[in-house]
Structure formats: structure tokens, C-alpha cells
Amino acid sequence: MKKLLLDLSLFCLNCVLLKGLNFCSSGWLQSPTSYSCFKFYHEKKSWGDARSTCQAFNGDLIINLDDKKQNLIAAQRKRHTDEEFWNSLNDRKNEDHFKWLDGTQMISKTYWDDDQPNDEHDNEDSIVLRNAKSNIAKWNDLTCSKHRKFICEFFPDCPGNTFGGRCTDICNLTCGGANNTCKRFDGFCINGCDIGYQGNTCDAPCPVGTFGDKCAKTCNKNCYGSQNACNSVTGACSLGCDDGYQGERCETSCPGNFYGPGCSLKCSVHCNGWNNKCDYTGKCYFGCNDGYIGEKCDEGCDNGTYGANCLEKCSAYCGGLDRECDSRTGKCVSGCAIGFKGDKCDTECDKNKYGANCSQDCSPNCAGPSKECNSTTGECLSGCDDGYEGDKCEYVAVTLGRRPRKNPSDACTPFCGGETKFCDNKTGPCAFHCVPGQHGEMCYIECIATEYKANCSENGSKERQGSQAYVIHELL
């Protein structure tokens, strides 16, 4: 669209020139080759003062003299045949390198008078137009301080967004303002630059790391990369955000329990505290929940440990080959070793309990008021009550010998047979047999004639019969 407007502007300009319409003020002549006006000044001044006079009218000494301009000037100078007029051509900065005041080099075709330029006395750096035999005015170099008449050229602003001597160049499209207008000769933007650009002609994007109007804003430090590069117009980070930030300009921290590139990663559910918060690297702010370790709390405790930072050790009495326990609570996974109880298997069985999960009672035949036994094996710790024996006092014992009774009447009967005459020391039955002529458990019953053959042995004594097993011990 802008190119179309430019083409139309140039077309209309050419229409004006072709139709001979004069856009110059009264007293000024329209240039035949450029969008400009010029005027003869008959007051004599030095080259510098003459230039200042022209600049007061927003113009300068006449520039870029070609055939058409030379012819027009010659026609005007017929009334001033003996006069010389300053133009803008000079080599004041660099000897023999002539330039016009708009900075352009002298064209290859020149109009030097004979033997010119001669730089007489090494001090002739400014150029005048003077009479010649032809209609074309000739050039001559003079000392700049000499006083001569002069010709000013005035350049109206180019139409639209054009610039240059002939208004054929296009102002940079990043010049500020609706029409991107710029100065006539140098193309400097009149209304500054669009946002994101800088320089006199607004052709340079903002330096890396800056953006906005006059490149005065700094890209967010959270833009990814060492230079924090961002779009020179919007400030949107060019390479995305550093970990832990989001948004076009990376101005917003990750919400809640998110982190990483674009806040796309979620903090570990094992981060301690409300909402499991972590920093931009995923490191948990408040450490780990019980049973987990690592900066991101993504590692469970090793076998055999549990609790905060996995510093607690599972009970040595946890069941199973690995003695494994819950990494958070310390509860033994496979129950307890025999003889222990509780979630952590850290409590021995009560004194009268033993076995797996302390589920078995110690033998009631264990000696002592508490009937205490070994929590693992069930072995009675204080021995057995009278009449019982075995590790767990599970066997009824027959101890041969005289009964340890408190009363004399509690002694074994004199009718017990055998050399030792032993009887059960708790209930009293004879251990072996009765003396001849006696029978019964305690051998109190005397054999009679009618019973001799039926109930008594041939030697007159009755053997102890029955299914009860007796364990015989000698008493010392």
C-alpha cells in the first residue's frame, strides 16, 4: 500500500512539473530537474556568509548543476553578464575532492573554465559561476573569503514519505508517524522511530537485550540466554523463558507446584509442605516428606531406613529376609520376628507371651507368679511348677523318691516295692510295684487268698498297670 501511495505521489509530482505549475514562492524559480526552487541574490558576500543567508530560508547554495540547470541559470544571467555567483561546490575538507553541500560527489561532466581549477596560492576552495562565450556558465575556484553574488536553492518537503534531491527515495518504513516522513536530503526521520527501532533513519533494530520506544526498555532478565534477547517491539522473549518463568516477557513465576521450561513440570508430590512447592529447578522448598530424599524428593529411602531424610533405621526385629519397613512410618512390612510385637516390632512380648506376634501364652506350668517364659522360644525362665518338666514345662514328671511333704503322713507308703521304694512325689502312687502281698496304686490293699491267683502276682505282689508314662529321675 505504501509503495502504491509513493508511486501515485511521484506521478502527481511529475504531473505538476509537466504542466508547468509553479510550486515556488514569488521571486523564486522552479528547477527544471528537481523538486526545488532557486533565487539569485545580488548582494555580495563571502561563500560562508552567502550560505548562511540561504540557510535562513531553509535552503542552501545551489547544488548539482547539470545541463538543464546550467542553461536556466545562463538565461537568467544574461542580465548580469559581468557577474560571478557562488554555488555550493567546494573542496574545503579534502583538496581536489569536490563535493556539493548535500554530500554528493561532483558529477563526471563538469563545466570548468579554461585552466580551472587552479587553486591559486593554494587557497581557492569555493566555486563560482562566471560568464563564458557559450550559453553555459563556467566554473572557477576562488578564495572562499571573497565577496560574490550567490544563488540559493530551496527544497520544499518531498510529498508523502519520499526524500532526496528529486524526491525519489523512500523514507524508512520504520520512521515514526502515520506517513513515515523524513527530512528532504538525509532521510532522517522527522517524528522519531517506530517502537523497536533506533538511529537517525530508524533502520536499526534495538540492540540485543533492549526494546520499546527509543529502545529504552530492558528485556526481562528471565528471558532465556546469556543476552536475555527479546523482540525489539513487543519485548517478548526470543528464546523463551528461563526455567521457572512463563509469559511472553517471562515476567511471571511458575504457579504453585510447577517448575522447569515453560512451567511444564510438576514438583514432586513428596515435597514437604502445602501444595508441594519447589523452586525453578524442582528443588523442594521445605525438604521432603518422610520416606523420601534428594533435592527433588524423588528417591525413596533405601531398604532398612525410613522417616525424615531417611535417617531412622527399620527395627532389627522386622520379619522377612530384608527386615523391610514402610519408608514413611517404619511399620514392618512382613510383620515381626518371633518374640516381638507392634507396628515397628520394637516391643518384646509380654512376660507371659511368646512366639509370632506374641500370640502364644507361656505354659501355665512355668514356675513363678507371672508364668514368665522366653519371648522367642516359650522356654520357662524360672523352671517348672512341681510335677512338670521340659523347656516349656509341658510334660508331667514322675520324680522317684520320698515325697517332700510337709506332714509325715505325706511320705511314700511303706508298701511301695523296689529297693528305693520310690513313689510319685506329687500324687503318691508307687513308682514300680508293691511289696509281696499288697496291691493298689499306693499298695495299701493286702492280697487275700481268693484274689491271689486273680489279682496278685505269683510272688504275691501286684505290678503297676496302666497307660500313664512315667519319667524316672533319681533323687540325690
pLDDT tens digit sequence for 307-356:
999 999 999 999 888 889 999 999 999 999 999 999 999 999 998 899 98
pLDDT in the model for residue 404: 43
| More confidently predicted of 404 and 84 | 84
CB atoms within 10 A of CB 304: 16
pLDDT in the model for residue 158: 84
> For residues 223, 229, 232 and 238, what is the CA-based torsion angle, rounded to 10 degrees?
-70
**Cβ-based neighbours of 343, under 8 Å, separated by 6 or more:** 329, 330, 331, 332
Is-contact 422 415, C-beta < 8 A? no
pLDDT in the model for residue 420: 66
pLDDT in the model for residue 79: 58
Expressed in angstroms, the distance from the first to the final Cα of the chain is 131
The CATH number of 24-154 is which of 3.40.640.10, 3.30.420.40, 3.40.50.880, 3.10.100.10? Answer: 3.10.100.10
Among all chains, which residue has been given the C-alpha cell 529376609? Answer: 321
**Alpha carbon distance 221, 226 (integer Å):** 9
3-state secondary structure of 261: helix
Q: Say whether pLDDT at 462 is over 50.
A: no
The 10s digit of each residue's pLDDT in 132-186 is 656 677 889 999 999 999 999 888 888 889 988 778 899 999 999 989 999 877 8
Give residue 150's identity as a one-letter amino acid code.
F
Pairing of strands 210-211, 217-218: antiparallel
**Alpha carbon distance 330, 337 (integer Å):** 15
**Alpha carbon distance 243, 327 (integer Å):** 31
pLDDT in the model for residue 224: 93
pLDDT in the model for residue 13: 39
**Alpha carbon distance 58, 25 (integer Å):** 13
The 10s digit of each residue's pLDDT in 233-281 is 999 999 999 998 999 999 999 988 899 988 999 999 999 988 899 998 9
Give residue 17's identity as a one-letter amino acid code.
L
pLDDT in the model for residue 476: 24
State pTM to two decimals.
0.47
- H-state helical runs in 271-363: none
Q: Say whether pLDDT at 452 is over 60.
A: no
Which of 130-139, 409-418, 436-445 is predicted most confidently? 436-445
Q: If you average pLDDT over residues 365-377, what whole number do you get?
A: 90
Per-chain mean pLDDT for the chain: 81
Q: Say whether pLDDT at 18 is over 70.
A: no
Lowest mean pLDDT among 200-204, 400-404, 408-412, 466-470: 466-470
Q: Say whether pLDDT at 456 is over 50.
A: yes
Q: If you average pLDDT over residues 398-409, what whole number do you get?
A: 46
**Alpha carbon distance 266, 228 (integer Å):** 25
Residue ranges per structural domain of the chain: 24-154, 349-390, 398-476
Q: Say whether pLDDT at 471 is over 50.
A: no
pLDDT in the model for residue 409: 52
Q: Say whether pLDDT at 297 is over 60.
A: yes
Q: Say whether pLDDT at 468 is over 70.
A: no
Which of 33-47, 210-224, 370-384 is predicted most confidently? 210-224
pLDDT in the model for residue 461: 41
Q: Say whether pLDDT at 453 is over 50.
A: no
Closest by Cα among 34, 33, 32, 53 to 42: 53
